[in-house]
Structure 1
Amino acid sequence: MKVTVKYFGMIAESAGRTEEVLDVVSGTSAIELKDQQVQKYQIQDPESIQLAVNQNLDNKVELNEGDEVAFLPPFAGG
């Protein structure tokens, strides 16, 4: 199944792209996808990365065909 992955900030720099469409195995969770991409692109400080699935900050979901997964860098407050 295909999912769209979007990268922002330092994550996009590490990945060398801002977006890609991936073919993932049915039953893959958002956390599993994060782990795969962190390894693939050698993304630093993976614990600080938040995931948004279909614009919801929830990384404990199973992905479905056509989902959008955003890799978000740490947010600065002020």
Structure 2
Amino acid sequence: MQISIKYFGQIAEVTQVNEELIEFLGDDVSELLKVLYSKYENLKHKDFQVAQNQELVSGNTEITGADIALLPPFAGG
């Protein structure tokens, strides 16, 4: 399936793109991260969370073909 991935903050700096469409044949977030780590090796060294349909998800969450976002840590205030 083709999924849309959006990158924010320092994650976008690593990928050098704000958004992209990728062909993904896996099942869950952890498999998606493996694909992204192989494409963007420096991503492994960044702290971020993954959101699907604007909700934070864990590594074992099934990818439903929805919008995915990689979000850097939030600063408190």
TM-score range for the pair, normalised by the shorter chain length: 0.7 to 0.9
Query: How many angstroms apart in 2 are the aligned matches of 1:63 and 1:12?
Result: 21
In structure 1, the residue matched to 2:61 is 61
TM-score normalised by structure 2 residue count = 0.83
In structure 1, the residue matched to 2:76 is 77
Structure 1 residue matching 2:63: 3-state secondary structure:
coil
In structure 2, the residue matched to 1:5 is 5
Q: Could you tell me the percent identity over the aligned residues?
A: 39
- Map Cα deviations across residues 29-69 of structure 1 (whole Å, 9 max, x no partner): 112212321332121534x210000111113311123x111
Runs of 4+ with >3 A deviation: none
Specify every segment of 5 or more residues in structure 1 that has no aligned partner in the other structure, as ranges: none
RMSD between aligned residues: 1.5
Specify every segment of 5 or more residues in structure 2 that has no aligned partner in the other structure, as ranges: none
